[in-house]
Structure 1
Amino acid sequence: MLKADLHVHSNYSYDCRNKAEDIIRRCGDTGINCIAVADHGTAEGALKIQQ
């Protein structure tokens, strides 16, 4: 079953302080297996999480 959060920000966006590692850990803890990183003005957070 797919459990998704389609609006996630990382610390690469000006309005969030969550590091990529913390986002991944939190997703695992809550059963989320699909996310869409929606950082403002950059794709760095998405690229970091994708790795």
Structure 2
Amino acid sequence: MQISTYFQSTKCYPFHRDMFISCTAIEILSFRIKNVFILWLWFSTFCSCIRN
């Protein structure tokens, strides 16, 4: 899956691409590492519409 193509198909188009990649990385890490759950909660407020 190409991140740029997926980003363009999301409803969060105003989000910067680097922010989208950061949100994706945080969400992937949050499922692996429970210590970043607080970060995931904070980022998920910005990335909730991207995960659709």
Question: Fold-level match, TM-score > 0.5?
Answer: no
Going by fraction, where is strand more abundant, 1 or 2? 1
Give TM-score scaled by structure 2 length: 0.33
More helix by share: 2
**Taking structure 1 as the reference length, what is the TM-score of the superposition?**
0.33
Higher gyration radius (CA):
2
